[in-house]
Structure 1
Amino acid sequence: MQESTVEIGKAAAILKLLGDKTRLTMVKMLDTNDYCVCEFVAIFNMSQPAISQHLRKLRDAELVQETRRGQWMIYSLNKENTYYPFVHSLLSHLPSQDFQLKQLEEQGLRISCD
């Protein structure tokens, strides 16, 4: 099976977007779990508007998708995106961020947004 190629301009845009440590960490975390904005606020110790701004940029690039569950917005990685194989190949070189979720659970801050 031949790898699909990504146009240079699009690759540059994705790399620029993921060049931000917070967004890169978010995408890596979303590769294994879905998260609520409120969980990202706790994990990154940032304001909700700042987290929402990062997620908006990722959503605008269609790298993440959101689903409403009641009053909560749940974010997941958009694995149907044309560029997901490119993004996933980048993520495969990064260490797991699952410890972030474990720490959140240990602190009693894992939100059940159902």
Structure 2
Amino acid sequence: MNTEGTIDMQRASQLLKLLGDQTRLTMMKLLKSHECCVCEFVEIFKMSQPAISQHLRKLRDIELVKEERRGQWIFYSINENHEDFPFIQNILEHLPDQNKSIAELEAQGLRICCN
């Protein structure tokens, strides 16, 4: 983003293409309010661990998400310090809440599986 708060078209196109995938867009919405690890995403999306890791890698490669290792687990969160975060945040604000997915994990006893 520049000093006027706008983003250039090429960059916006790149970000929108990345977020055009429903899984990645949902991941970003979840990460906006919850740290998650790969195993939690595996349960939420009913996808394989390699598939989830591939989605996270794409988000991590352009630094939209950050990771923090805790023991053998890596937790992911949205990178609010990213220069394009205001643009991403504006998109995420218009999407439905995803807390139901987290609540279902907790109800199944899977939310804390990485601690």
TM-score (norm 1): 0.95
Structure 2 regions of 5+ residues with no counterpart?
A: none
The Cα of 1:109 is off from its aligned counterpart by: 1.3
Distance 2:4 2:80 in 1: 16
Does structure 2 retain, via aligned residues, the 8 Å contact 1:38–1:111?
A: no
The Cα of 1:111 is off from its aligned counterpart by: 2.5
User: 1:41-94, CA deviations, whole angstroms, 9 ceiling, x for partnerless residues?
Assistant: 011000000000000000001100001000001000000000000000000100
Aligned with 2:33: secondary structure?
coil
1:61 maps to 62
1:5 maps to 6
- Give the residue type in structure 2 aligned to 1:97: Q
Structure 1: 4+ residue segments shifted above 6 A? none
Aligned with 1:91: secondary structure?
helix
The Cα of 1:112 is off from its aligned counterpart by: 4.5
Structure 1 regions of 5+ residues with no counterpart?
A: none
1:81 partnered with 2:59 = no
Aligned residues: 113
- Give the residue type in structure 2 aligned to 1:83: D
The Cα of 1:3 is off from its aligned counterpart by: 5.7
TM-score (norm 2): 0.94
What is the CA RMSD across the aligned residues, in angstroms? Answer: 1.2
Q: For structure 1, which segment, 31-40 or 2-11, has the greater mean C-alpha deviation from structure 2 after superposition?
A: 2-11
Q: Report percent identity of matched pairs.
A: 58
Aligned with 1:31: secondary structure?
helix
- Give the residue type in structure 1 aligned to 2:85: Y
- Give the residue type in structure 2 aligned to 1:38: C
